[in-house]
Amino acid sequence: MLTLSRQRPPRGTTCYRCRVIRFFVVAAIGLAIFALVADDRLHYLQSVTPMRAALAIWAIGIAGLIIKIVLWKLESREASADPEQGEPPAA
């Protein structure tokens, strides 16, 4: 998915691939700085376990799914309430 477009980006903007590479470099540098600075204070992170992280990801995903379904139902209900919008004009 790195090559979204074969065309050159507009002048003054960066391409998607360059943004991904820059984000990766910044994240790697940030992680290295965090490891150096928080070396003795990492006991606070013992409460973060792989199971809790997985449960948090599941909870966020399920909440997002429910919100999207509710918004989709509301949108379809609004579209069905206004039947004149989709009909062609009478001649």
pLDDT digits (tens, 9 = 90+) for 31-58: 999 888 887 777 777 888 999 999 999 9
pLDDT score for 9: 66
For the chain, give the mean pLDDT. 83
Q: Is residue 43 part of a domain?
A: no
Q: What is the mean pLDDT of residues 72-81?
A: 89
- Domain of 65, in residue numbers: 49-81
Output the pTM of the full model: 0.48
What backbone phi and psi angles, to 5 degrees, belong to 15? -75, 165
Q: What is the mean pLDDT of residues 15-41?
A: 89
CA-angle at 75, arms to 69 and 81, nearest 5° = 135
With beta carbons less than 8 A apart as the criterion, state whether 2 and 17 touch: yes
With beta carbons less than 8 A apart as the criterion, state whether 16 and 2 touch: yes
Q: Judge if 7 and 26 occupy the same domain.
A: yes
Q: Is residue 20 part of a domain?
A: yes
Q: Judge if 28 and 6 occupy the same domain.
A: yes
Q: Judge if 54 and 33 occupy the same domain.
A: no
Q: How many domains does the chain have?
A: 2
